[in-house]
Structure 1
């Protein structure tokens, strides 16, 4: 059998075995009335067209007797980008794969992909990269630990090593998410046996709203943790309450989650002095709104604060004397220590109580 039949066999195979594929045979010359073709061509009788014989006419290049090419002259020159060895390298392209979001203080890596051109490639960037990240110009890799949250826009440019170098650039955006942190407090306000109890957990960073859940351990019977971080109920003092762990999850995509070990214990308050039930404060984040309420028995007291030898209230925060609410927007990271005093009123008030508190601002 002649090698030319391979074209015929291929055409038949494509038409029969792959029923959904309809080859375009209109670009081939028609067979004559007797079903014959020019030398080096074989008639495909079912379609009435002449197909080139591979072997007799050299490689199957798709030439036809008219010299117009297999595409009938309608698409000339398009193979320069398709890998034709005579047309030079394919067009250089930066794959439009945008870098995924990063998280502050968490290691980050992204490699920009290239197609076409003549490797090796050389990369460069213009614009401002997120603080803490560096760019490898030889490998096209962005890596490091982002220092701050926010969105950055920059342009990546790549140049190949062809005889006539090609150059392509594309703009990208990269979002660095604020790190989610379960702020606490580590030690929750004490509960009095059999009395109503309320405390609020808080979180910083991430994307609100947050969802809280018990991760391990158990709360005192009678106290429950709500999904919004509120603990409430009434419990009776027992032999002791072991620590437990709470998980917070934010609303970002993909979400962040953090777990923190917390403690909740009972306290017995006598009537001889004010009983300050808050013994710790949740952490704060510089630049983010903060609020937390101090608790005492009796609940109606006047709160004051004063500096300790080593610290004071964080800049940006205040203590409301009537409500015991510490609130504001801290402006500077650090660990701050200060004293609070709760003073009750009345004709025979209990003695005031003073407590040293520490507040960490990230």
Structure 2
């Protein structure tokens, strides 16, 4: 209820007059509104402009009653002092029960979203004053006059979950109305999986395209592009199959969360050859000499590869460079050790190979002076070898004396010599060191003596 009183110059007859409007909307003037007073049961009605006038009133107090169908009745006590007319403008409230028209629950929202919601109400007496009891999500505010909650939902790890609050409305008459609401805020869903590692041709694989945020469960689908043959994407985001052809494919995945929020992301899936270590065997190392050998591999995602020992036992004084795949060092003792070496490509594919690391002493002919022999007696001596890798091959660059021969595989010099002499031979031995044989050449001496003779004096 509202009214305004204005003073006017003194007149002989006094009256009460004014305009009746609708509360909250003064442009609506209420015609045919009944205005009555307890004095003489006077009753008038407003005209089409909502104006009324009660003339010829004596000084005193008057209880005016304003009534109109569909509007709440208003009562006002006013005093006439006998010196002036009184202007009384009044607004009337519609006789409608107050109701919150904005339904619950409210639709869920996501961080980063723009938000605009009008708390719609009806009834009571306009204008209204709105307020919030509780907390709104960060980034939102309430307009107390319009009842509009608006803003942009802040992207913040703490700005998610359910935010309950109470909307309080006070109408023009002072009546208070409340209703419970809540806004549920979700993190924006996004693809944790941004890229796919390559897969090996003719090998089964299984990958999960991971998404977080939003509301589970998610539904996955491929909306464009192609997958390799024999590869499928399930509605739960599992990419699996056994690709049969090498190549690269591109496809776009759409994910819809339980609230209907959609996100899309493009992926490239590359099918590659199997990763294989191509080094067939390790070079033989020579004790005391610098060793250097580069390992090789093909396939996989084609590097850069990462190399490492995969066995507990590794060669002594030998290292493996993880980036270049070079075995290097200087072995200090002979060793014959089975080892495992593995290589890893950039996508995590692994290949392993078993090797034998073999370090041997330098090849040498050990006995330069063979045991002496006797003429006309069977002679048989072998050339002793130290180091190297058997089998060995022996050769003599000189002409052997008549009756002697050299076995090229055993290194045995044998036969019968019928002349006493000192024989010197250039002997060469070649071993089976991989990949390059060792060779030693020495001058070997054989003494052939005469038979022992016993004499009697």
Give the drift of 1:264: 0.4
Contact 1:109 1:141 in 2 (8 A): yes
**Distance in 1 (alpha carbons) for counterparts of 2:211 and 2:190:** 6
1:151 to 162, 171, 174: 162
Cα distance 1:297–1:264, how it changes in 2: closer, same or farther (>3 A)? Answer: farther
Q: Where do 1:40-189 residues align within 5 Å?
A: 83-84=70-71, 86=73, 89=93, 90=95, 91-95=97-101, 97-98=103-104, 99-147=106-154, 148-161=159-172, 164-184=173-193, 186-189=194-197
Contact 2:198 2:347 in 1 (8 A): no
- Structure 2 unpaired stretches of 5+: 1-66, 75-91, 278-295, 312-337, 349-457
Contact 1:135 1:141 in 2 (8 A): yes
Instruction: Give the corresponding residue for 1:67.
Output: none
Cα distance 1:146–1:275, how it changes in 2: closer, same or farther (>3 A)? Answer: farther
Cα distance 1:233–1:353, how it changes in 2: closer, same or farther (>3 A)? Answer: closer
Contact 2:306 2:345 in 1 (8 A): no
Contact 1:109 1:143 in 2 (8 A): yes
**Distance in 1 (alpha carbons) for counterparts of 2:248 and 2:346:** 25
Richer in helix (by share): 1
| Larger RCO (alpha carbons 8 Å, 6+ apart) | 1
TM-score (normalizing by structure 2):
0.41
Cα distance 1:297–1:224, how it changes in 2: closer, same or farther (>3 A)? Answer: farther
What is the CA deviation profile of residues 215-237 of structure 1, one whole-angstrom value per residue up to 9, with x for unaligned ones? 11010112111222111111133
1:257 to 256, 262, 269: 262
Give the drift of 1:159: 2.0
Give the drift of 1:85: 5.3
Contact 2:111 2:188 in 1 (8 A): yes
Give the drift of 1:189: 1.9
Instruction: Give the corresponding residue for 1:192.
Output: 200
Give the drift of 1:112: 0.3
Give the drift of 1:160: 2.4
Cα distance 1:270–1:97, how it changes in 2: closer, same or farther (>3 A)? Answer: same
Contact 1:214 1:246 in 2 (8 A): yes
Q: Where do 1:242-253 residues align within 5 Å?
A: 242-250=249-257, 252=258
Instruction: Give the corresponding residue for 1:283.
Output: none
Q: Which runs of 4+ in 1 moved over 6 A?
A: 274-277
Give the drift of 1:178: 2.9
**Distance in 1 (alpha carbons) for counterparts of 2:306 and 2:227:** 22
Contact 1:103 1:176 in 2 (8 A): yes
Cα distance 1:200–1:81, how it changes in 2: closer, same or farther (>3 A)? Answer: farther
**Distance in 2 (alpha carbons) for counterparts of 1:200 and 1:274:** 27
Bigger CA radius of gyration: 2
What is the CA deviation profile of residues 217-261 of structure 1, one whole-angstrom value per residue up to 9, with x for unaligned ones? 0101121112221111111334x42421011122x2x42221111
What is the CA deviation profile of residues 4-49 of structure 1, one whole-angstrom value per residue up to 9, with x for unaligned ones? xxxxxxxxxxxxxxxxxxxxxxxxxxxxxxxxxxxxxxxxxxxxxx
TM-score (normalizing by structure 1):
0.51
Contact 1:249 1:256 in 2 (8 A): yes
Give the drift of 1:204: 0.5
Contact 2:306 2:344 in 1 (8 A): no
**Distance in 2 (alpha carbons) for counterparts of 1:195 and 1:85:** 82
Q: Where do 1:264-343 residues align within 5 Å?
A: 264-268=269-273, 269-271=275-277, 272=296
- What SS does the corresponding residue of 1:349 show, helix, strand or coil? strand
**Distance in 1 (alpha carbons) for counterparts of 2:267 and 2:255:** 13
- TM-align CA RMSD: 3.6
Cα distance 1:109–1:82, how it changes in 2: closer, same or farther (>3 A)? Answer: farther
Contact 2:102 2:121 in 1 (8 A): no
Give the drift of 1:352: 5.4
**Distance in 2 (alpha carbons) for counterparts of 1:230 and 1:202:** 9
Contact 1:273 1:350 in 2 (8 A): no
**Distance in 1 (alpha carbons) for counterparts of 2:251 and 2:135:** 43
- What SS does the corresponding residue of 2:269 show, helix, strand or coil? coil
The answer to whether structure 1 residue 205 and structure 2 residue 213 are counterparts is yes
Contact 1:97 1:113 in 2 (8 A): no
Contact 1:222 1:234 in 2 (8 A): yes
- What SS does the corresponding residue of 2:132 show, helix, strand or coil? strand
Richer in strand (by share): 2
